[in-house]
Structure 1
Amino acid sequence: MKNYKYIGLCLLALSFASCDVNNELDTIPEEVVAEVELNVNGLDFSKYVSIGASFTAGFTDNALFVAAQENSFPNILAGKFGVEFNQPLMNDNIGGLLLGGNVIQGPRLYFNGAAPAVLDATPSTEVTSPVTGSLNNFGVPGAKSFHFVAPGYGNVAGVSLGLANPYYARFASSGTSTVLGDAMAQSPTFFTLSEVGGNDVLGYALSGASGTDQTGNFDPSTYGSSDITDPVVFGNVFNSMVSTLTAGGAKGVIANVPYITTLAHFTTVPHNAIPLDAATATAVNSAYAPYNGGIQQAFAGLVQLKLITQAQADAEIAKRTITFAAGQNAVVIVDEDLTDLEALNPAFAGLKQYRQATADDLLVLSSSSFLGTLADPNNPASVNGVGVPLADKWVVTPEEQLAIKTATDAYNAVIENVASSNPNIALVDFKGVLQEASSGIAFDGYTLTTNLVMGGLISLDGVHLTARGYALMANKVLAAIDSKFGSNFKTATGGLAKAGDYPTNYSPTLR
């Protein structure tokens, strides 16, 4: 019993002793982060103007609206520059435009939990109601390079005729003014010139390359809206714009043109988007059997006439033979680069330029709602993409992608030469940013990709950036300014935009 007694006394003693212990921990002092003052190294941002197209305007989710404009990369830059920045703000957060009370541009998109959808609302911004007052943002959605120096591009009377831009018509200083002229009227001390050249190939791509590559045609007045701009035309315009902007000593940043076919608009819809069961596949194969047999006979005849070699015939027969199986199947498309058999011989009538898509083909985003619909509501066999091949406007083929890349490379050669030869110009490698984002680009604690909806960089239209994407773009501009002009935005306290301050989507309740 004594042993238990002593143990109990010891425990009691310990419990008393514990009452005398100081359990309060010393306060850990907060880490003090040294403030780093911004040093612009003599740059004059007092009259900053931005010139460009959709990205400069803040276009997102297939529309321009107030919240998006406030999150445009030029407005973010102006905040970091600490200067006033006036924009031709829309009337609402619905997006879209009215011309004489008629809707000519629809509302913005929003994510309905399954896919992008059009906001159920009516635009209130009227093109014929001009924006007045001094402006800093001259971003014009849809503008091609030569449009920035085209008199009358903002003439309201030309909007309904397709001769003027409705966004520029809202804030053009007159019916004969130019975008560049209006910007220069502000006497800029610093400028950004961005995405000039993007629309010169984007219209072609968005149309499924149904336009014309105008390389060699130096008269842009003859171009269609979906045509590729000749690189010489682009070069003349771009050099002239930069020379004009820097003539008074202003400094600025220019951006090169990304490979637009890497954007979600062209990479979201798979080439093999047709699911079939075995019975349906067999029925479709039977329907295409005469076409496949005709192709084989036609090329056999061409070989016999020694118009092509057997190897050439075999390659084109393999490319043009259409077969389906149970599971996912490639869509059937029209490919204008295939041999036009009908033109070679009237006996080949009916042997169209059909083939099935491959992973090298790019289907435009809008094809997702068209595939599987009926060309003829009374004919269940007229399924678009199966029984009825997709027309040129739905697909960008490898040959058409090459035309886009060739033009883009030519534009970028001009842009990079301007940057390297002008000490007042910094260059942003926007092409490199988009290429990196294809696999993932870090922005603070986030990884942004070019994937639709969930990628965080590209908005719901598959082409334009999200607010967070524009913030990243602003930071790339600030980094370029540091590198060229010796400022310290990258290291200054609050010198860069923070990813978490900018959304990747807007609520449908935002009106």
Structure 2
Amino acid sequence: MKTYKSYLHIFLAAGLLSFAACKTEINTPKPSRGTADFSRYIAVGNSLTAGYADGGLYREGQMNSYPSIIAAQMQKVGGGAFTQPLFTPEQANGSGYLRLAGFNADGTPKTEQVKTNLAVRGQLAVPGFGNVILYTKYTGDINNYGVPAIKLQQITYAPYGNLNGYFERLLPGDSPTNTTTYLDFVTAKPFTFFTDWLGNNDALLYATSGGAGDVLTDKAVFTQLYNLSINKLTVNGQKGAVATIPDVTSVPYFNTVTVGAILAGVQKANPAAKALYVNALVSGTTYVPRIATANDLIVLTFPTSMIGQLVNTPAGPLPYGLTPYTPIDNQYVLDQNEVALTQDYVSSYNATIKSVAASKGLAVFDAFTFLNDIKAHGLTVDGVNLSSAYISGGIFSLDGVHLTPRGYAIVANEFIKAINKQYNASIPQANVSSYNGVKFP
């Protein structure tokens, strides 16, 4: 006669066997290049592609660029060597950059400029343009063609190699003798695969100048040049991945120093202060002073100590930023109408990018949607909560526009996801947690 204990043993044994039979198997796809050929991968783009961070281009940032991270993962599916135009260890600080020095008593960050071990070889005055900083020449093979500050608008402009020191350092000639266009330069050697993230600066430089120091690239010109560039990059059947333009007004550069925060600071010392004033776009090139609202974006670099300082006016000395006679200067504000104008152009640029990519069968990383989603909801990677917040968010570097190594690793993985989907590949993703955010002192 079976005892209760005997039945219990039988029941448990059967249950364990049943659990073992039904356990879930996790099948990791075998790494594969799918229908793509990564034997010579090149990266086309601007500062984001170059690994620019913290307001400068320097060796550590270059080594953590998203193309270098992508290339390392591509090598696991047969990808070739990936060479970057790195600054030397002796000149590792390149152009110089910002580092976090600490925090003020009110919690605001203190940054300082790194000025040692630079790769600056001189400065050239270009008539009608201004001074161009020249960097130590790089010689050797190149796979990462990222050039800080370049616009799509400038990729066929022959003299551009004399006006941008980051591009000039890659060319054999010295400024002002260069005549090679950027598009010709990046396509001079055979390649099998490319990523392209050009176009950001066609909107960003207008925005970061407060709409006062640059212009948005004409939509028709953008479409014409984007078609031209993609046609040339795919002329021999090369495959690739492109990215859309982010909403440049959503980055910390425009969302850290706010109208509300500045006014609250003023009112602590002067409760009678009721509003800030900005010089705002009405239409065309017409600007009129008005009261600032939360929809007007103050740039990260605005020296808030200027608020309230007396300014000489026809009506006598008046406090800066606190009267319609002394509005905050255009260069420090992307006002509501300028925000709308910028977003309209970015939307047009992205429609072009998606249309051209679809016509060529290219992979698309929708950076616009992805980065806006992070701003709205944050992002959790490997159990770490990230966001678009300045410094604490972990994604954006100290300049409030470019990314940290961790941010670049996240972008690299988004490119990889798009490539895998489009070309039936299974490139492994990078380990984001092995890359740092902003470095604390």
The TM-score bracket by the shorter chain reads: 0.7 to 0.9
Secondary structure of 2:339's counterpart equals helix
Query: Which AA in structure 1 matches 2:243?
Result: A
Alignment check: 8 A CA contact 2:29 2:426 kept: no
Q: Aligned partners of 2:200 and 2:269: how far apart in 1?
A: 46
Q: Which residue of 1 aligns with 2:321?
A: 385
Query: CA deviation digits over 1:74-123, x for unaligned, max 9?
Result: 000110111311111124576453xxxxxxxx533335244151234335
Normalised by the length of structure 1, the TM-score is: 0.70
Alignment of 1:224-373 (within 5 A): 226-272=214-260, 273-274=262-263, 275-276=265-266, 280-282=270-272, 324-325=273-274, 330-337=275-282, 353-372=288-307
How far residue 398 of structure 1 moved from its aligned partner, in angstroms, is: 1.4
How far residue 33 of structure 1 moved from its aligned partner, in angstroms, is: 8.0
Q: Aligned partners of 2:276 and 2:82: how far apart in 1?
A: 49
Secondary structure of 1:505's counterpart equals coil
Q: Compared with structure 1, are the counterparts of its residues 357 and 138 closer, same or farther at alpha carbon in structure 2 (3 Å cutoff)?
A: same
Bigger CA drift: 401-410 or 384-393? Answer: 384-393
Q: Which residue of 1 aligns with 2:195?
A: 192
Q: Which residue of 1 aligns with 2:154?
A: 147
Q: Which residue of 2 aligns with 1:374?
A: 309
Secondary structure of 2:348's counterpart equals helix
Query: Which AA in structure 2 matches 1:197?
Result: G
Q: How many residues get paired?
A: 384
Q: Compared with structure 1, are the counterparts of its residues 370 and 185 closer, same or farther at alpha carbon in structure 2 (3 Å cutoff)?
A: farther
How far residue 372 of structure 1 moved from its aligned partner, in angstroms, is: 2.6
* Residue among 44, 49, 56 paired with 2:42: 49
How far residue 39 of structure 1 moved from its aligned partner, in angstroms, is: 1.0
Q: Compared with structure 1, are the counterparts of its residues 70 and 128 closer, same or farther at alpha carbon in structure 2 (3 Å cutoff)?
A: closer
Alignment check: 8 A CA contact 1:111 1:460 kept: no
* Residue among 201, 208, 211 paired with 2:210: 208
Alignment check: 8 A CA contact 2:151 2:199 kept: yes
Q: Which residue of 2 aligns with 1:477?
A: 415
What's the % identity of the aligned pairs? Answer: 31
How far residue 355 of structure 1 moved from its aligned partner, in angstroms, is: 2.0
* Residue among 122, 132, 138 paired with 1:131: 138
Q: Does 1:112 align with 2:50?
A: no
Secondary structure of 1:139's counterpart equals coil
Q: Compared with structure 1, are the counterparts of its residues 35 and 429 closer, same or farther at alpha carbon in structure 2 (3 Å cutoff)?
A: closer
Q: Does 1:426 align with 2:363?
A: yes
Q: Which residue of 2 aligns with 1:183?
A: 186
Bigger CA drift: 442-451 or 202-211? Answer: 442-451
Alignment check: 8 A CA contact 1:257 1:408 kept: yes
Secondary structure of 2:159's counterpart equals coil
Q: Which residue of 2 aligns with 1:86?
A: 83
Alignment check: 8 A CA contact 2:135 2:166 kept: no
Q: Aligned partners of 2:370 and 2:28: how far apart in 1?
A: 29
Q: Aligned partners of 2:196 and 2:266: how far apart in 1?
A: 49
Secondary structure of 2:100's counterpart equals strand
Q: Aligned partners of 2:115 and 2:284: how far apart in 1?
A: 47
Q: Tell me which protein shows more strand as a share of its residues.
A: 2
Q: Aligned partners of 2:255 and 2:225: how far apart in 1?
A: 31
Query: Which AA in structure 2 matches 1:148?
Result: I
Query: CA deviation digits over 1:129-179, x for unaligned, max 9?
Result: 311011101001100102222213223xxxxxxxx1110110024411122
* Residue among 430, 437, 440 paired with 1:504: 437
How far residue 373 of structure 1 moved from its aligned partner, in angstroms, is: 6.2
How far residue 447 of structure 1 moved from its aligned partner, in angstroms, is: 2.4
Alignment check: 8 A CA contact 2:161 2:167 kept: yes
Q: Aligned partners of 1:185 and 1:276: how far apart in 2?
A: 56
Secondary structure of 2:212's counterpart equals coil
Alignment check: 8 A CA contact 2:98 2:398 kept: no
Secondary structure of 1:79's counterpart equals helix
Q: Which residue of 1 aligns with 2:355?
A: 417
Unpaired runs of 5+ residues, structure 2, are 1-23, 121-133
Q: Aligned partners of 2:235 and 2:339: how far apart in 1?
A: 37
Q: Compared with structure 1, are the counterparts of its residues 462 and 131 closer, same or farther at alpha carbon in structure 2 (3 Å cutoff)?
A: same
Q: Aligned partners of 2:25 and 2:393: how far apart in 1?
A: 35
* Residue among 324, 335, 343 paired with 1:397: 335
Secondary structure of 2:282's counterpart equals coil
Larger radius of gyration: 1
Secondary structure of 2:385's counterpart equals strand
Q: Does 1:468 align with 2:406?
A: yes
Q: Which residue of 1 aligns with 2:6?
A: none
Alignment check: 8 A CA contact 1:53 1:143 kept: yes
Secondary structure of 1:427's counterpart equals strand
Q: Compared with structure 1, are the counterparts of its residues 279 and 210 closer, same or farther at alpha carbon in structure 2 (3 Å cutoff)?
A: closer
Q: Aligned partners of 1:458 and 1:89: how far apart in 2?
A: 22
Query: Which AA in structure 1 matches 2:363?
Result: A
* Residue among 59, 63, 67 paired with 2:52: 59
Q: Compared with structure 1, are the counterparts of its residues 264 and 279 closer, same or farther at alpha carbon in structure 2 (3 Å cutoff)?
A: closer
Secondary structure of 1:360's counterpart equals coil
Q: Aligned partners of 1:339 and 1:486: how far apart in 2?
A: 48
Query: Which AA in structure 1 matches 2:165?
Result: P
Query: Which AA in structure 2 matches 1:334?
Result: N
Alignment check: 8 A CA contact 2:281 2:337 kept: no
Q: Aligned partners of 2:233 and 2:298: how far apart in 1?
A: 39
